[in-house]
């Protein structure tokens, strides 16, 4: 099962940027959409300001990115936070001057000579690569295009707004480091990030979302809530603390319960797998660079990056009949991907993760029913978190294995399943995996950010054909099953990271690692507090008793900071009446109720997996 881990650019750390592209791509810094040309123009104004403030600066590239832009520079000295307001001031001056963006063309040779004279080595390299590509292809290179605004001119394909005065409200956001063309052997450049919007209100809204995202950053909350940590002895692998492991096990238990209702059978397969398996599956040629390789007794093995091929050995351990299908093998498999260090980002980009994987082997005439049921599983499980899934359908990519006729059949069956489930979807041409079309599931979190989540892949090629899977049909003849690869959480590490940010660490009761804290007012109330905790634990709830010597208000504040859903303060009056007056983490004081009634109510709320 392929798992997509999102790249998250983090300020003030080294980024291994993905600009290993062609020289043509490096020149094409623009973006589609009405904001793209404006942000591209803002990147040029940024470069103008930096070059003015820091003579001798060498320019890299300045593309538009989601919600903004950046420009890379080789500077005489490192930038500091105090530099950004000064750069912004120079940018505002250029915008106020309303310089027109003027296009000019020169022959590549003249352009190269001019840039070399200016000492712009990175721009010269871009032109050299374009010239080399033209020579290699036997074509003539078109004229080189430049854009000028005021005193500044830059090698660029465009597009731009009419003039600098058309650039809307903007803000520089921070700095980072990026290797030239994403190559760690090349110079480290300083990257300045910025954003620009059509109106001040849009800019203010974006900056609020960004600040809120900072507060919700799962790496910060993970430490504050004592959920997990990372250590250099195992880069890209989370060390789960007891509270984080509680979240993990709760999610795992909910999925196991769903799978049991659907007739899944849980399996477990080895972590270290021989090279020959990956050659047979096709992963070796396409995925080898992402594998951790192990040599033993003159053989090459790898830590498995996915579970898919191994399940076929369990399938083939018996002769299968049409009566046996569908077979649904689930596995919480531990996977390893050799991600580059610069792309690692908390839980959302890791090297070791566990996936709620499953491989379903289905008769072709039952595929539609199975996909409809899987879409139902997605809707149910995402409902536990109050999330509404959206669906996309990704078709055959250019680099694909297998018979084109099988691909056509798989895609048609998938369309029929969407129609049968009465679920709309967005088509994503050529975005399937190398072995199967797929259904991808997306959600928007509390800040409106889009995340790619679950995936369902309809495989008529890799597992069935390459591993010679068969079942005996009603006439006693061998037939190929269809294999469905599916993950609903996907990487549990990534899923938990997204949930932390979505809920801001304030998990719904059913998922919270500590569901209630009992707070005795004085030491003489500790025994009763332990007794109430026992009543709650007897209902399966996760409870702590704060027996510290801190003052009551401090204990309440601590529980709120830890985002515990319920706090119960016990004093003489409550103990005598055997009542609890629960206080929620939002500060709401609820009516008193007897201990058993309180325990029953919380237990029912937890079992219902509601989001309040």
Mind telling me the catalytic residues?
308, 337, 355, 357, 359, 438, 485
Q: What are phi and psi of 111, to 5 degrees?
A: -60, -45
Q: State which H helix or E strand residue 359 sits in.
A: strand 352-362
Contact 569, 521 (CB under 8 A): yes
CA-CA-CA-CA dihedral for 324, 330, 334, 338, to nearest 10: 80
Could you give the angle at the alpha carbon of 455 between the alpha carbons of 453 and 457, nearest 5°? 170
The closest of 487, 478, 474 to 316, measured between CA atoms, is 478
Indicate the DSSP class of residue 552: H
User: For 214-258, what is the HEC assignment?
Assistant: HHHCHHHHHHHCCCEEECCCCCCCEEECHHHHHHHHHHHHHHHHH
Q: Is the dihedral of CA 556, 560, 563, 566 positive or negative?
A: positive
**Cis check: omega of the bond before 273, within 30 degrees of 0:** no
Contact 483, 329 (CB under 8 A): no
330: β partners: 266, 358
Alpha-carbon span 183 to 9, nearest angstrom: 17
Buried b / exposed e over 145-167, threshold 16 CB at 10 Å, is: ebbbbbebbbbbbbbbbebbeeb
C-alpha distances in angstroms, 62 versus 66, 79, 209, 267? 13, 17, 24, 49
């Amino acid at each position: 099962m392929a798992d997509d881990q999102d790249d998250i650019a983090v300020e003030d750390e080294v980024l291994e940027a993905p600009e290993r592209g062609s020289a043509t791509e490096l020149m094409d810094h623009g973006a589609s959409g009405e904001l793209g040309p404006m942000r591209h123009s803002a990147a040029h104004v940024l470069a103008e300001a930096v070059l003015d403030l820091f003579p001798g600066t060498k320019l890299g590239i300045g593309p538009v990115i989601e919600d903004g832009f950046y420009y890379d520079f080789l500077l005489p000295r490192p930038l500091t936070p105090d530099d950004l307001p000064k750069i912004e001031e120079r940018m505002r001056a250029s915008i106020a001057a309303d310089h027109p963006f003027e296009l000019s063309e020169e022959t590549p040779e003249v352009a190269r000579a001019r840039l070399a004279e200016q000492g712009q080595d990175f721009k010269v390299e871009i032109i050299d690569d374009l010239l080399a590509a033209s020579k290699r292809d036997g074509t003539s290179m078109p004229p080189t295009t430049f854009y000028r605004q005021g005193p500044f001119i830059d090698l660029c394909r465009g597009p731009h707004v009419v003039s600098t005065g058309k650039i809307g409200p903007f803000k520089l956001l921070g700095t980072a480091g990026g290797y030239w063309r994403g190559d760690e052997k090349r110079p480290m450049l300083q990257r300045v990030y910025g954003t620009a919007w059509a109106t001040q209100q849009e800019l203010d809204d974006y900056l609020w979302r960004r600040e809120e995202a900072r507060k919700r950053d799962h790496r910060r909350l993970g430490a504050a809530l004592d959920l997990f940590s990372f250590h250099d002895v195992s880069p890209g692998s989370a060390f789960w603390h007891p509270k984080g492991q509680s979240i993990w096990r709760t999610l795992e238990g909910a999925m196991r319960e769903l799978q049991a209702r659907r007739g899944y059978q849980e399996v477990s397969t080895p972590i270290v797998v021989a090279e020959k398996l990956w050659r047979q599956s096709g992963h070796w040629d396409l995925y080898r660079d992402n594998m951790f390789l192990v040599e033993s007794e003159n053989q090459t093995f790898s830590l498995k990056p996915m579970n898919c091929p191994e399940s076929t050995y369990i399938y083939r351990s018996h002769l299968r009949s049409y009566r046996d299908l569908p077979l649904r093998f689930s596995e919480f498999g531990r996977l390893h991907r050799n991600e580059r260090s610069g792309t690692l980002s908390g839980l959302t980009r890791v090297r070791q993760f566990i996936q709620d994987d499953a491989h379903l082997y289905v008769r072709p005439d039952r595929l539609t029913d199975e996909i409809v049921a899987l879409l139902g599983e997605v809707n149910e499980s995402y409902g536990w978190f109050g999330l509404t899934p959206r669906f996309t359908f990704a078709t055959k990519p250019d680099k694909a294995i297998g018979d084109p006729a099988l691909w056509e059949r798989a895609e048609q069956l998938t369309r029929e399943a969407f129609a049968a489930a009465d679920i709309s979807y967005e088509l994503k041409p050529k975005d399937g995996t190398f072995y199967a079309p797929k259904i991808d599931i997306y959600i928007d979190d509390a800040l409106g950010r889009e995340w790619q989540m679950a995936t369902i892949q309809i495989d008529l090629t890799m597992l069935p054909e390459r591993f010679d899977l068969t079942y005996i049909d009603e006439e006693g003849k061998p037939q190929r099953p269809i294999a469905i690869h599916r993950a609903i959480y996907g990487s549990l590490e990534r899923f938990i990271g997204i949930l932390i940010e979505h809920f801001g660490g304030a998990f719904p009761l059913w998922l919270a690692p500590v569901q209630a804290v009992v707070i005795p007012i004085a030491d003489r109330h500790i025994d009763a507090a332990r007794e109430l905790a026992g009543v709650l634990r007897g209902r399966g709830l996760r409870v702590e008793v704060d027996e510290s010597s801190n003052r009551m208000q401090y204990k309440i504040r601590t529980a709120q900071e830890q985002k515990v859903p319920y706090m119960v303060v016990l004093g003489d009056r409550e103990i005598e009446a055997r009542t609890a007056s629960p206080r929620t983490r939002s500060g709401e004081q609820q009516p008193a109720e007897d201990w058993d009634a309180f325990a029953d109510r919380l237990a029912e709320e937890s079992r219902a997996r509601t989001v309040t």
